[in-house]
Amino acid sequence: MEITAAVVKEKGSNFVLEKVNLEAPGAEEVLVKIVATGICHTDMVARDFVMGSPNFPVILGHEGSGIIEKVGVDVHHLKVGDHVVLTYGFCGECDICRTGNPAYCYEFFQRNFSGATVDGHHHHHDHNGTAINDNFFSQSSFATYAIAHKNNVIAVPKDVPLEILGPLGCGIQTGAGAIINTLRIKVGSSVVISGAGAVGLSAVMAAKASSATTIIAVDINEERLAFAKELGATHSINSLTENVPQRIRKILPNGVQYGVDTTGRNEVINNTLNSMAPVGELAIIGVATKPLELATNIFLTKGYKIKFVNQGDSVSEEFIPKLIKMYQNGQFPFDKLIKKYAFEDINQAVEDSEKGKTIKSVLLIGTYKD
């Protein structure tokens, strides 16, 4: 079938909307009419080949939401007409997946970043029949239709607007999951969250929902810091104008119990560790451009635990419905992060995201009736 997709022709280039051909879903796949897709930093990382396949052209997009139009013969838990969120790909069969850790699947790279399915197959072709790199996060949802594997398609309630749900599939579940699944912060505890983007602010909301009593947001953008306090942060620190460890020690003389880093920056991570109480726990999410360097001797007697976190350690089939229920209960207002753009304005949406004008850009791609 002919669809419209946003194609990146070469490393670092703009997205170009083009007509391409999409094949029918395979036995374990579903065809989804895309209603909306969130824009995530990981899309830009792949566009710029910081991570992922070096092959171009490519169709990105990995926070899709939509409605199932076809299911493969081996798909039994989903049906035509289901409202769905698309998340990351995993095999579901390896030892890692079977022990409840699908975000660390042995085949994670192949199913999310290789530019094709695990057997090297492409779903998309141009009008000359030439394959286009795709299967980004097992979906490539910067398009009017997407093919996804049965494992990464999550059925969601039909009484919640599909336009806002896509970001739950990656960025929002990543930040919230770091708090709820990885750190499992305790009632009455303290946490510092570095970076007030979509992931960090999702962590702030999750910390509030988890009844943390001291929630410290760190960023260099005063507007973002003010917004973090609206969402539940009890304190904010501008790291451009304040000494982060000193300020945190004034708030909590013994140090903070938990930390979440969304920046991947050496100085930020070390500032967080210098602010932590003994046996504190730090979840690191941010994509780094330089190797991490730690003041190991200083931290040796502290008993810190550092965990590198992918997808918020989420089992998405369970976690995404929980986040939706929290949203419906008024505990997790993630819709406040979202600004909507028309599909044809994708490059403006990307630019606004990269410049920090928008926290979570969402592309409106298709329509549907409630």
CATH classification of the domain holding 275: 3.40.50.720
**Residue 247 lies inside a defined structural domain of this protein:** yes
DSSP three-state, residue 287: coil
Sign (positive or negative) of CA dihedral 60, 62, 68, 74 = positive
Strands 145-149 and 29-38: antiparallel
Q: Using CA atoms, how far apart are residues 218 and 229, in angstroms rounded to an integer?
A: 11
What kind and span of H or E run contains 269? helix 266-273
**Residue 205 lies inside a defined structural domain of this protein:** yes
CA-based nearest residue to 215, from 231, 197, 198, 199: 231
Are 84 and 133 within one domain? yes
Are 339 and 307 within one domain? no
Question: What are the tokens at 293?
Answer: 């360097």
Q: What is the mean pLDDT of the chain?
A: 95
pLDDT for res 224: 96
Q: Dump pLDDT digits (tens) for 219-250.
A: 999 999 999 999 999 999 999 999 999 999 99
**Residue 163 lies inside a defined structural domain of this protein:** no
Range of the domain at 189: 172-311
**Residue 249 lies inside a defined structural domain of this protein:** yes
Q: Using CA atoms, how far apart are residues 260 and 229, in angstroms rounded to an integer?
A: 16
Report the side by side order of strands in the sheet with 2-8. 58-59, 2-8, 15-22, 124-125, 131-132
**Residue 318 lies inside a defined structural domain of this protein:** no
What CATH number has the domain bearing residue 54? 3.90.180.10
Beta-strand ranges (E) seen in 150-197 are 153-155, 190-194
| Contacts of residue 192, Cβ cutoff 8 Å, sequence gap at least 6 | 216, 217, 218, 248, 256, 258, 259, 260, 272, 275
CA atoms within 13 A on the CB side of 315: 8
**Residue 265 lies inside a defined structural domain of this protein:** yes
Total structural domains in the chain? 2
Are 110 and 250 within one domain? no
**Residue 327 lies inside a defined structural domain of this protein:** no
pLDDT for res 55: 82
Q: What pTM did the predictor assign?
A: 0.95
Are 40 and 97 within one domain? yes
Question: Which residues on neighbouring strands pair with residue 15, listed in sequence order?
Answer: 8
For the chain, residues with pLDDT lower than 50 are none
Are 304 and 198 within one domain? yes
Q: Using CA atoms, how far apart are residues 82 and 113, in angstroms rounded to an integer?
A: 27
Are 178 and 81 within one domain? no
Going by the DSSP 8-state scheme, the letter that residue 133 receives in this structure is B
Beta-strand ranges (E) seen in 285-354 are 305-308, 338-342
